[in-house]
A and B are shown apart, each in its own frame.
Chain A
């Protein structure tokens, strides 16, 4: 690892009025004679290919020449900057280096493909994460508290009686007060009910008997008379139904563990001394270096 970090890993570009600093790996060019800059054919092809992916075409000869000249200029500056030690104690460069090393472990972790057995085990261990949601098919009539004021409760009772009489045939849009969202919802997921009506309404909706006008139920908007026609209970899915989600979650766990293991492996190679006069944390020195 030390070897890796000793490599002339990076250079930085200073652009425009010093508006942006970008870092990248430098090619192998600077390994040998410090007074010699070699731009290999491979590097030139890389420069041209990078240009093509942005500009949708290959650079023409003068453009390529300019790109190579710029590459050389960059290389000169980078070497001089490194020689002057300008990379040291630079927050941006340090963070970019840290990020690059983190990418190494991230990328390795992301490449691991789980087997079906892994996924099934993960699903079994975390059933609630993948639960298929409860769904509701329901109609409602809205009563606007600002319009109804003190007569809200009375109006609700009267309207409920009318709705019970009319049953499923009622023209909902003509009853109650205007409402910007729908009056009928077909197989709406419980989480969507929460999003559109709030938690309290969604909870209450789950407790209502089917096929009968009920209410009023309270939401963030006011009062609602509700007819639940159908409720599909939530259930635990088979792996086939949620494979992509399980895979994503499984990989996320691998990623986090790999990153942590990677860092611990590196940390083990160091003795950390924190010369802090008053430890901020009871566990003293390690509190300051332990990653979250």
Chain B
């Protein structure tokens, strides 16, 4: 096996042969209940003077990355990443670190949480030096070192130095290298997570990635535990070496919960590289889905990672020809290892919006909707650096960290299919409406789907559905109190409509405090019509600059202030905040439907534009230099009584 073929084999998470450098009725409910339902029933408790005292619903979103790789991922390492989980956490917490290519890197502001999600494959198996084990202690040097370490402080440091010197001199006691005695990397990995987890300040989740890549089709899932090390250390990560079938992963997750009393969920990503497998009508073996399959998938996979570096997965122009904002940062050339080129008929099973629609039909057929998922974004960066800002993008892997040529070199190539460096998307983050920044509160919010995806900016997005919202709820100044009291938040369910009523929604977005203004808020509706056909429609519901829709009903574009020559823009167009109450004008109480919010920012420079300006290079004409960043919320589903 040549070097290139091993690298090719390894390209599983990066995509193919990588080239240089080597590389209600009235009462609405959710599946998981509504946060603080009792508390919000009296949002303005009489005993408090302050209307805000005693509230128990989330008042701010927390931003993080649920999908980051470090040097512990074999492919990340292969592309030159030398930064481990410690550096990854430090960077996410806002510290400056030196990247694998020697460049100082820092986030514009800290993230609130991080899941280091290294590939399970080979993560659990590596053996390390054992400590304090009786078999080791039979070796006199080991015994002495162990005692010195137990004493701690400077004596311990001396022991460490001695051991290191012994290792350097090749005088390693054999006992130290006995694999039977070793701690697994997994235990070391979870220990690092514990060390950086600071409830209330920064949440370090324990998790990993299950990297199923059958026939080159991406079925990857990130596994996220709610629990601490004492529980996760009772297992070893289930990897694609154990099985590539998602149903087997779900069995493992069930086994984990049964055994430890813990809680775990899984988040799939990159349906765009699954060649029609992500939201398919069949299971792993090609058999039609069953009710059990649907229930199990819905149970373990409440969320979908809808945007990340290897492409945005909301929708594709082919699927949504009437949506002028469809087709954002698309990767649609092939599957993950580029072993099979894309065919148009695959697309319908790859994108989130269509997946949600297919879910409605499957729910009718099977009694359960397998594709009832909320949305988050994450990076899937392999550099240990969770960057999603256009002006601070460190790339997919260490081979494409900032450099003059990274945009114009092929990032992946297989036969006729080429993915150029500039096609990488500087995306995205997960926003979670949790009551506090802890593993438990964030995980619970993920489980109930009270989340949204952003392509990088940290805008605040609210979305509530109910039957009686009015314009005054949107302008009263305390939208959330009304939203939680009389409706359900994003990720929730509306049941059979009261007679003669249409669903009403409170929707609002506030710009990133250091980012660009907002162009518009849209509500995307998907439904199954009376004939069983799947439909979708995008409504503009709030927009900036007092624009008037044209005769065709189309809202004029917001304009552009982005200057490609200087990589700057100004907030002289757009709005800082958009708020409205919206009632579905086309509602049919007998049809299943879902609604989610898409927020669009004004145009800003894309990362390729910052590269061009900072490196003084000219980009080829096909390279997009301006982008309109966005957010996608989890849907609210409407289900009529059968």
User: Chain A interface (Cβ within 8 Å of chain B)?
Assistant: 1-4, 7, 13-25, 27, 42, 46, 50, 53-56, 86, 89-92, 95-96, 99-100, 103-115, 117-118, 144-146, 171-184, 191, 194-199, 201, 219-222, 244-245, 248, 251-252, 254-255, 258, 261-262, 265-266, 269, 292
Our pick among B74, B195, B238 for the contact of A21 (Cβ within 8 Å) is B74
> B576–A220 contact, CB under 8 A?
yes
Given A20-B9, A105-B164, A221-B576, is A174 in contact with B179 using a C-beta cutoff of 8 Å?
A: no
Q: Collect the chain A residues with CB atoms within 8 Å of residue B175's CB.
A: none
CB distance from A6 to the nearest CB of B (A): 10
Contact pick for A111, options B121, B131, B170, B514, CB 8 Å: B131
Subset of 19 A-B contacts with CB under 8 Å: A1-B167, A15-B241, A18-B1, A21-B10, A50-B124, A54-B235, A54-B236, A54-B237, A55-B255, A104-B167, A108-B164, A113-B152, A114-B156, A145-B576, A173-B51, A179-B477, A183-B477, A195-B109, A254-B160
CA distance A56 to B258 in the complex (A): 9
Give me 9 other A-B pairs in contact (C-beta within 8 A), A117-B153, A220-B515 excluded.
A20-B12, A25-B177, A53-B235, A95-B77, A100-B126, A114-B152, A115-B152, A177-B577, A244-B198
Q: How near does chain A come to B318, taking the closest CB pair, in angstroms?
A: 28
Q: Which residues of A contact B125 (CB under 8 A)?
A: 22, 24, 50
- Least Cβ distance of B456 to chain A in Å? 16
How close is A130's CB to chain B, nearest CB, in angstroms? 12
Interface contact A265-B168, CB-CB below 8 Å: yes
Contact A180 B577 (CB under 8 A): yes
Interface string of B118-162 (1 = CB under 8 A from A): 000110111111010000000000000000011011101101110
Q: How far is the CB of B253 from chain A (nearest CB, A)?
A: 10
CA A118 to CA B154, docked complex, whole Å: 8
Interface string of B220-239 (1 = CB under 8 A from A): 00000000000000111111
Q: Are A19 and B12 in contact (CB under 8 A)?
A: yes
Select A292's contact among B10, B102, B164, beta carbons within 8 Å: B102
Query: Hey, which chain B residues are within 8 Å of A191, CB to CB?
Result: 110
CA distance A108 to B172 in the complex (A): 13
Task: Indicate whether B252 reaches chain A with its CB closer than 8 angstroms.
Answer: yes
Partner of A56, one of B3, B172, B255, B576: B255
B240 & A20 in contact (Cβ 8 Å cutoff)? yes
In the complex, what residues of A have CB within 8 A of residue B116's CB? none
Closest CB-CB distance, B462 to chain A, in whole Å? 6
CB pair B241–A22 under 8 Å, yes or no, is yes
Query: Complex: how many Å from CA A183 to CA B59?
Result: 10
B-chain residues with CB within 8 Å of residue A173 when the two chains form the complex: 51, 476-478
Tell me which of B7, B86, B150, B170 contacts A91 (CB under 8 A). Answer: B7
- Knowing A1-B168, A56-B256, the reply to whether A22 touches B74 (Cβ < 8 A) is yes
Stretch in B261-269, B353-361, B504-512, B522-530 with 4+ CB within 8 Å of A:
B504-512
Contact of A172 with B252 in the complex, beta carbons under 8 Å: no
User: In the complex, which residue of chain A has the Cβ closest to the Cβ of B77?
Assistant: A95
The answer to whether A194 touches B161, judged by C-beta atoms less than 8 angstroms apart, is no
B78: chain A residues within 8 A (beta carbon):
91-92, 95
Q: Are A220 and B160 in contact (CB under 8 A)?
A: no
List the B side residues contacting A181 at CB < 8 Å: 59-60, 460, 510
Q: Which residue of A lies closest to B508 (CB)?
A: A180
B179 vs chain A, min Cβ distance (A): 5
Note all chain A residues with C-beta closer than 8 A to B642: none
Q: Give the distance to chain A from B404, nearest Cβ to Cβ, in Å.
A: 16
- B129 engages A108 (CB within 8 Å): yes
In the complex, chain B residues whose CB is within 8 Å of the CB of A245: 198
Name A182's contact: one of B7, B22, B60, B179 (CB within 8 Å): B60
Are B154 and A19 in contact, with the CB atoms below 8 A? no
**In the complex, chain B residues 163-206 whose Cβ is within 8 Å of any chain A Cβ:** 163-165, 167-170, 172, 177, 179-180, 183, 185, 188, 191, 195-196, 198
Q: What chain B residues lie within 8 Å of A19 (beta carbons)? A: 9, 12, 213, 216, 337
Tell me the nearest residue of chain B to A172, going by C-beta.
B477
Chain A residue with Cβ nearest B462: A180
Q: How far is the CA of A196 from the CA of B152 in the complex (A)?
A: 42
Contacts of B102 in A (CB 8 A): 292
Q: Report which of A172, A195, A258 forms a contact with B164, defined as CB distance below 8 A.
A: A258
Chain B residues with a Cβ closer than 8 Å to the other chain, count: 106
- Is B259 engaged at the interface, CB distance under 8 Å to the other chain? yes
Closest 3 CB pairs of A and B: A173-B477, A115-B153, A265-B168
Are A16 and B7 touching (Cβ within 8 A)?
no
B60 and A179 contact, CB distance less than 8 A: no
Query: Which chain A residues lie closer than 8 Å to B98 at the CB level?
Result: 292
Q: Are A3 and B259 in contact (CB under 8 A)?
A: no
Shortest CB-to-CB span from A7 to chain B, Å, is 8
Indicate if the CB atoms of A92 and B579 lie closer than 8 Å: no
Judging by beta carbons under 8 Å apart, are A220 and B128 in contact?
Answer: no
Q: How far is the CB of B480 from chain A (nearest CB, A)?
A: 8
How many Å from the CB of B2 to the closest CB on chain A? 9
Q: Does B344 contact A (CB under 8 A)?
A: no
- Our pick among A92, A180, A261, A292 for the contact of B460 (Cβ within 8 Å) is A180
Type the 1/0 row for B391-406, where 1 means its CB is closer than 8 Å to any CB of A: 0000000000000000
> Hey, which chain B residues are within 8 Å of A178, CB to CB?
474-477, 479, 508, 577, 579
Interface membership of B365, Cβ < 8 A: no
B287 on the interface (CB 8 Å rule)?
no
Cβ of B317 under 8 Å from chain A: no
Q: Is B52 an interface residue (CB 8 A)?
A: yes
* Interface positions of B from 1 to 23, Cβ below 8 Å from A: 1, 3, 5-10, 12, 22-23
Is B367 in the interface zone, CB < 8 Å from A? no
B47 contacts A by Cβ under 8 Å: no
| Alpha-carbon distance A168/B206, docked complex (angstroms) | 45
Docked CA distance A56–B71 (Å)? 28
Q: Indicate if B242 sits at the interface (CB-CB under 8 A).
A: yes
B215: interface (CB < 8 Å): yes
Taking a contact as CB atoms under 8 Å apart, the answer to whether A220 and B513 are in contact is: yes
Most buried by A among B172, B214, B510: B510
Q: Provided the pairs A22-B125, A174-B477 are in contact, do residues A111 and B160 lie with their beta carbons within 8 angstroms?
A: yes
Q: Which residues of A contact B241 (CB under 8 A)?
A: 13, 15, 20, 22
Is B244 interfacial (CB-CB < 8 Å)?
yes
Instruction: Decide if B576 touches A104 in the complex (CB within 8 Å).
Output: no
CA distance A7 to B235 in the complex (A): 29
B631 at the interface (CB under 8 A from A): no
Which residue in chain B gives the minimum CB-CB distance to A22?
B122
Specify which chain A residues have a CB less than 8 angstroms from the CB of B515 in the assembled complex. 220
Other-chain residue from A46, A112, A184 in contact with B180 (beta carbon distance below 8 A): A46
A261 adjacent to B161 (CB under 8 Å): yes
A144: B residues at CB distance < 8 A: 575-577
Q: Tell me the bound Cα distance from A91 to B177 in angstroms.
A: 24
Say whether B86 contacts A252, CB under 8 Å: yes
> Are B477 and A1 closer than 8 Å at their CB atoms?
no
**Which residues on the B side are within 8 Å of A197 (C-beta)?**
513
| Given A50-B236, A144-B577, A181-B59, CB of A2 within 8 Å of CB of B170 | yes
Q: Choose from B77, B153, B242 the contact partner of A54 (Cβ within 8 Å).
A: B242
Contact B236 A220 (CB under 8 A): no
Compute how far the CA of A1 lies from the CA of B169 in the bound complex, rounded to whole angstroms.
6
Q: Please give me the residue from chain A that is nearest to B170 by CB atom.
A: A1
Q: Would you call B512 and A220 a contact (CB within 8 A)?
A: yes
Known contacts: A21-B6, A269-B168. The answer to whether A182 contacts B52 by CB under 8 A is: yes
Chain B residues contacting A255 (CB-CB under 8 Å) are 86
